[in-house]
Amino acid sequence: MDTPEGPLPERLRTLPSRLTNGAALIANRLVDQALAQAGARRYHYALLATLEEYGPASQAALGRRTGIDRSDMVTTVNDLAERRFLDRAPDLEDRRRNIITITPAGRGHLADLDRLIAAAQDEYLSPLSAADRQSLIDLLTRLVERHGDKRHQGARPTAPS
């Protein structure tokens, strides 16, 4: 964690919040690079994964579940619909909203993205043993679960990394 001017001060090098942020930046870069190989972005992955796991839903409900902003959701749905990875159709109960459904091609694309994401995770966690990886996941899960309800206070959530 050296800078062009030399090492950071000790109190900065050991701050858990600073370390977590630095690790997140690295993880996001690796995931973005992996997804780019398939012409995808994190929002694409989040939306397809959500549709596969929970089934068809309105754009608004998908936005709330994934943390994707409304304007980003429109762009993401348009991108994926153009590539025939999802279908959108008017909701029979409320014609003002669309219901989004993953297509068979979308499921195949998601499987490809899963492989790319898994490779990025392996690269990111490569310095750690299997036991250390599980410990890190457990610790991060505890932190997110403890502080997750505060995530929406003053900060816009992002799609999973």
CATH of the domain at 69: 1.10.10.10
CB 59: neighbour CB atoms within 10 A? 20
* Number of domains within the chain: 1
The percent of residues in the chain predicted with pLDDT above 70, rounded, is 91
CA distances from 89 to 13, 93, 130, 149 (A): 51, 12, 44, 33
Ramachandran category for residue 39: left, alpha or beta (phi over 0 → left; psi -120 to 50 → alpha): left
Q: Is residue 153 part of a domain?
A: no
Q: How wide is the angle at C-alpha 72 spanned by C-alphas 68 and 75, nearest 5°?
A: 130
pLDDT one-digit tens code per residue, 6-62: 888 988 888 999 999 999 999 999 999 999 999 999 999 999 999 999 999 999 999
Domain containing 119 equals 40-140
Amino acid at 30: L
For residue 146, tell me if it sits in a domain.
Answer: no
